Homo-oligomer: A and B are copies of this chain.
Amino acid sequence: MKAWSIEKPGSREVLKQIDVDKPEPQTGELLIKVKAAGINRTDTLTRQNAALKKPYPILGVEVSGVVDSNQSTDSKLNAGTRVCGLVNHGGYGEYVVMRADRAMILPDELSFKEGAAIPEVFLTAYQTIYWLGELKNEEKILIHAAGSGVGTAAIQLAKQLSQATIFATAGKPEKQEMARKLGASVTINYKEESFDERINDVTKGTGVDVILDFVGASYWPMNLASCAADARWVLIGMLGGSEVERVSLSELMRKRIALKGTLLTPRSDEYKASLSREFMQIAMPLFKEKKLQPIIHTVLPFEKLPEAHRIMENDENIGKIIIKMNQ
């Protein structure tokens, strides 16, 4: 089968199409005939990881497709079933092995392109908002990077599942527009105004209950100032650097803030299985009703993978970049 791996760790030029045997599913696993795969930042980071040793992996951590062979005891996942979900690697190939307890059945109303745009961003958003952020009905949430994949998923989930009041930051007017369309109450262009001052104004000084923070160091003082008492501040990215110069613990204590660092990719298999199951039950039905929608920036053919990496690394996309298999 055809797949994308790397020549050696490095920039986009190292991406290399290879021809390899189909992977073999073990007990508890599915072999999936891949129809579409999502591009993620973890893929570009893996590609550059100088610590990687040969044999280099097939990249890609999320796919949609059709079950080709079911080696699990779950009869709902027999051959022919349309599914989507996370894989540990190997998503950029014609076939991939997926743990059955992580597969989400793809409703007929959704295309394969849409299915490949759901797992990573929606599961990450769901995990951070609910498992870590513990967002309750009608609470206030601040979502940074509102135009990103996780940002657009988070706005929709917070709106549809919790009727939250959503503050969203983005650096471009079209991203603000998208955030409003998806359910944000207040959108803030961080290049033009201080988001903490705006939040302070709108909430009359009470602040937000949950923050999804992809930015880290450069937003630290403003995020701290935006927190309500008992706020949950979830740290899922460091686009603005990782070293904070001065941290005041007394503010964290006074406001009783819970600051939670997280990453989805290195979580255990059990964690991902349990997250996928809960998401499939609670959120998947809302995709059928079109209350939730995967946001897709562009769909490229399998052969154009380097171009997909280029778009992600240049930050040109609002929503997901998808590669489509010709099979």
Contact = CB atoms under 8 A, between A and B. Distances in A.
A235 B243 CA distance: 20
Interface in A192-251: 216-217, 235-236, 238, 242-251
Given A256-B263, A260-B258, A261-B256, A242 B249 contact: yes
Contacts of A132: 258
A247 B258 contact: no
Given A243-B249, A249-B238, A254 B263 contact: yes
A18 interface: no
Number of copies: 2
A253 B262 contact: yes
A181 interface: no
Given A258-B259, A259-B258, A246 B249 contact: no
A34 interface: no
Interface in A250-285: 250-263
Contacts of A242: 248-250
Contacts of A253: 235-236, 238, 261-263
Interface in A140-159: none
Interface residues of A, number: 28
A250 B216 CA distance: 9
Contacts of A262: 253, 256
A254 B261 contact: yes
Given A245-B245, A258-B258, A250 B238 contact: yes
A248 B258 contact: no
Contact of A247 (B243, B254, B255, B260): B243
Nearest to A262: B256
Contact of A246 (B243, B254, B260, B261): B243
Nearest to A132: B258
Contacts of A257: 260-261
A259 B224 CA distance: 14
Nearest to A241: B249
A235 B260 CA distance: 13
Contacts of A246: 243-245
Given A235-B249, A243-B246, A255-B261, 15 more contacts: A216-B249, A235-B253, A236-B253, A238-B249, A243-B247, A243-B249, A244-B247, A245-B245, A253-B262, A254-B261, A254-B263, A256-B260, A257-B261, A258-B258, A258-B260
16 contacts: A132-B258, A235-B253, A236-B253, A243-B249, A244-B249, A245-B245, A245-B246, A247-B247, A251-B261, A252-B259, A253-B262, A255-B261, A257-B260, A258-B258, A258-B259, A258-B260
Give the 8 A-B CB pairs with smallest separation, nearest first. Answer: A252-B261, A253-B261, A242-B250, A258-B260, A244-B247, A259-B259, A247-B247, A242-B249
